[in-house]
Every structure is written in structure tokens, then in C-alpha cells.
Amino acid sequence: MHSGMKAQNNVFLTQGRIEFERKVNLWAQIDEDEDDGWKDLVKKSRPQFKSSYFDLEFNGHQTLYKPGRENTDNNRLYTEPAEDNMVFSDLEKEQSTSQKNIYEASFLVQDSTRHIAWKITNETRNIAGFECRRANALINDSIYVVAFYTDEIITTGGPESFSGLPGMILRVSLPHEHITWFATKVYTEPIPATALVPPTKGKKTNGKQLMIDIKEDLKDWGKWGMWYVRRIAI
């Protein structure tokens, strides 16, 4: 039986599993994307938040982020970009392999791990029993990121493709994109290195080429197309 663990003095994890809840504020997106005359009607058709669960397994310098348990309360009216991403990262080799499903196509994105110029602050917060410190950054030149990490977990990874802080990232917020990932539980179960394998399905590409292709495909989609591209880039 697996059990959650609260951090204790002189306890530093090098392997385990973290459950993340990915939460999207649908109403905030509606406020940005819909005309005033449609906002109230669209809001009545869907809940304010959409939550999905993911597991991040880690052992040493390797992590595997993948869809977790099903949320039966989830709003399944439509599928968002990145809703079922899988991301394998070798943080020591600075290599990443991601499986992304876009429309009806699946892509296998092989690239270097993303470099993020984090600025660490003095603000702290307790997340899932771990004392965490805040860091801020910009990704893709314009998307503001707020993260909280703990140095009580040695692996320097995080959900999706977020990494590069001196410990494990347990919370990521993109305020202007209205998305948050936060750790609900940290499990101390052993994770064999052999269990952390990159995804293999999808058309092989790299991050730069994928964005070029998607931008070309969506160039006539206006504001919605720009939104979709930003979500894929996360």
C-alpha cells in the first residue's frame, strides 16, 4: 500500500511518484475569447474548472510525466491541447522525449530539455507537506510562469517540461493562461529505473519544427489559432 509522505528534517527523496492536478479555469478563458453577448450562455454550458490528474515518476535524474487516474467529474465536452501529454526527461543528459496528441495526429517530440531563466524569490509555501520556494520566469518570450519547488526532493524536474530549479517543482501556475499544476500527494514508493522509459508512438519531430508546422496549419484561425499554438508550446 502506498502512502503519502510529509517532509521531515534530513529526509531527501531521490525516487518516488507525485500526483499532480492540472486545473484550467474555463470561465476565465471564455471571458477572453467570447463576445459579451455569448459569455453567459457559454458559461452555463460548462463548469468553471476542468481538472485532470497526472503522475510524475522520478528516479535520480530521470522523470516520466504521464496521465494519471481518471477524474469522473471532468468536463469532457472537448479535449484541450496537452491534456494527455507524456514527457520523459533525462535531466543529466538534458534530453527530453514527449508524446503530444494534436487533433487526430500523434507526435513524438525529441529535443533538449527546455532552458528556463528562473528568478528565485524569498516567498515560501507548504505544498503536499514540503516547504517550497517560489521562482518566476518567462517561457516562449511572453508566457509568465510562477513555480514553487522543494530542495527536499533531489530530482530537479517538474510537471510537463518544467525543470531547472534546485529541487522538484511541486506547483506551476500560468496566470495569463489560466492553468495550474499542483502536487496533491507525494508517494515514497520505489520507482525502478527500468520503469522510466520514453514514449515511442507518434510522428518523429522536434519542438521547433512542430511549432512551425502547427503555426502554418492554424495561420487562418485567428485568435483561436494563436491560443492553440500557445497551449501546444507549454
Question: Can you give the pTM of this predicted structure?
Answer: 0.88
Amino acid at the residue 198: P
Residue 57 CB neighbours (<10 A): 21
Question: For residue 38, what pLDDT is reported?
Answer: 59
In contact, 81 and 179? CB cutoff 8 Å? no
Residues 10-56 pLDDT 10s: 568 999 999 999 998 876 765 555 555 555 666 566 777 788 999 99
Domains, the chain, with CATH or none: 15-206 (2.50.20)
- From CA 59, how far away is CA 48, in angstroms rounded? 36
Residues 165-207 pLDDT 10s: 999 999 999 998 889 999 999 999 999 989 999 999 999 999 9
Question: Distance between terminal CA atoms of the chain?
Answer: 34
> Is residue 212 pLDDT above 60, yes or no?
yes
In contact, 161 and 97? CB cutoff 8 Å? no
Question: 113 φ, ψ to 5°?
Answer: -65, 150
* Spacing of C-alpha 21 from chain mean position: 9
